[in-house]
A and B are shown apart, each in its own frame.
Chain A
């Protein structure tokens, strides 16, 4: 009777609140939902446009072995951009770290020491970026253009413009761990990328450090009024970008067993494009690790896809540039609508 009448109403109410909860979830994660949709659409497009390439496992093996080189840098760069900063020097820090690697390996014949000194060099270079931005007060865009040229110049001067072979370390365990093949179609750099993505996700979403990154990127003054050490947070973010750059520099050099002094120059555009395509706002305060992760795969696939569908490689820059402009503009438009 009464109970029977109430029941469907209660069910309807429960269904309603379920619906509200789902829409709420979707709205709160709108950019992530968006990037997943873009990811699937781009994938589908390439499968239809170039089935010969995109239905074979080889292409995915190629993606997993090359995309991590820049995706690993795009992840901490995402943190920097969320904090309201920019770093353009990571391309040169990749090479600088490798200089440390080669010099220390020459001197000690130890890959372990070479590895650690490369990471240390990258971290210090990042700290220097942070110090210039925070203590001297130069906008990071300008400061890191400066250090980009400076470190590239240092690499060229120290090595006299010459590269170096990494064949002597080809059989070492380190190289296998860095860029070996885990299973037939699984390069170890992909595992590194996944591990680093999980690590940065935890740092950004489940640690004070990450919470403070969002807050200072959103409103630094509020963050400081409430007692957040904005300077320290910023400096550490730059250090993380430096660390990841040295790591990626070693990886991509070990992959080809050669160090080119121009190492990293090709990575600037695609790393930035991954971050912005992934939904991170150039104005700070907004961005996700998942977005950058998927963004980097879209960016990587576009390069292969362009060639596979019969366009010349010249189109890649055009398309990357376009992607950066559009994804950055979307945030500007959304902000205007909010205010």
Chain B
């Protein structure tokens, strides 16, 4: 069976800087892949190629075995990719409901919005998934008043709402409390349980190890290693990571 997602020989340059070099990467059906690597290793660039935000300088992307040409974010979302970006991708002056449906508004075929539906759905999400119970927050609240963890919660709930086949989480635990982090890791396990796939980026190797089926290590724009979590102990994985950080590869 084809992979849910496959990247072949992907390179990406920004002017002189080559951020990705000949990346081969795949995400299986119902698989959670953890992406590890130092700051600047190219993790965010890689997922932005997948989400259609960056166009690869070279290489091909396949969704379910189908070659995707001229990929854009809108196309990728239609293909079932939802993302929690490292930079959160929120519009702070706008209301909660506008942020939940940012770029994917509920509308008729002429583009007219169903505002009530979006507010109702937001209300439901607030109660069921975000755990907002305070009277002060409602779908019409501007999110600039939210705490860091609440904002991150908005970005996460949004990615989960659309019932995507592939969910990409780029450092989603940033700004989360211990309790919220545990909730997030459970979300990732639920994605897996629901038969979906995910790419999970986190600085914390414990988080990644605890939810991923497979770990891919990036170093300076290249894939430096790949392990199934069932084949490697956490200690061994940490040893490998140190090795990669020092030498750029491992033996």
Contacts and interface: CB of A to CB of B under 8 A. Distances in A.
A327 to B, nearest CB: 17
Interface string B16-53: 00000000000000000000000000000000000111
Interface stretch (A182-190, A204-212, A242-250, A292-300): A204-212
B104 A214 contact: no
Given A224-B73, A227-B77, A208 B115 contact: no
A338 interface: yes
Given A223-B91, A226-B73, A227-B103, A211 B113 contact: yes
Contacts of B91: 214-215, 218-219, 222-223, 285
Contacts of B140: 24, 28
Contacts of A286: 93
Give the most central of A212, A215, A286: most B CB within 10 Å.
Answer: A215
Give the most central of B73, B91, B98, B135: most A CB within 10 Å.
Answer: B91
Contacts of B234: none
A321 B223 CA distance: 59
B93 A223 contact: no
A222 B98 contact: no
A142 B141 CA distance: 35
A201 to B, nearest CB: 13
B186 interface: no
A221 B87 contact: yes
A229 B74 contact: yes
B93 A227 contact: no
B102 A222 contact: yes
Specify the main secondary structure of chain B where it touches its partner: loop
Contact of B94 (A214, A225, A228): A214
Contacts of B53: 224-225
Contacts of A212: 103
Contact of B107 (A208, A219, A227): A208
Nearest to B158: A226
Contact of B111 (A207, A214, A221, A227): A207
Given A214-B91, A218-B94, A219-B92, A226 B112 contact: no
B102 A24 contact: no
A206 B89 contact: no
Nearest to B82: A226
B105 A24 contact: no
Contacts of A208: 105, 107, 111-113
Interface in A208-264: 208-209, 211-212, 214-215, 218-219, 221-229
Contacts of B111: 207-209
B129 interface: no
B189 interface: no
B85 interface: yes
A225 B144 contact: no
Contacts of A206: 112-113, 115
B63 to A, nearest CB: 15
Interface in B190-241: none
B29 to A, nearest CB: 24
B159 to A, nearest CB: 10
Nearest to B72: A227
B138 interface: yes
B114 to A, nearest CB: 9
B76 to A, nearest CB: 8
A218 B93 contact: yes
Interface in A282-339: 285-286, 338
B157 to A, nearest CB: 14
B90 interface: yes
Contacts of B74: 227-229
Contacts of A173: none
Contacts of B73: 224-227
B102 to A, nearest CB: 5
Give the most central of A215, A221, A225, A285: most B CB within 10 Å.
Answer: A225
Interface string B97-111: 010001111010001
B3 interface: no
Interface in A146-195: none
30 contacts: A17-B135, A20-B135, A28-B140, A205-B115, A207-B107, A207-B111, A207-B113, A208-B105, A209-B111, A214-B91, A214-B94, A215-B103, A218-B94, A219-B91, A222-B91, A222-B102, A225-B53, A225-B73, A225-B85, A225-B89, A226-B77, A226-B89, A226-B104, A227-B103, A227-B104, A228-B103, A229-B74, A285-B91, A285-B94, A286-B93
Interface of A: 17, 20, 24, 28, 202, 205-209, 211-212, 214-215, 218-219, 221-229, 285-286, 338
Given A202-B112, A227-B73, 19 more contacts: A20-B135, A24-B140, A28-B140, A205-B115, A206-B113, A206-B115, A208-B107, A208-B111, A209-B111, A214-B94, A219-B92, A221-B87, A222-B87, A222-B102, A223-B91, A223-B103, A226-B73, A226-B104, A286-B93
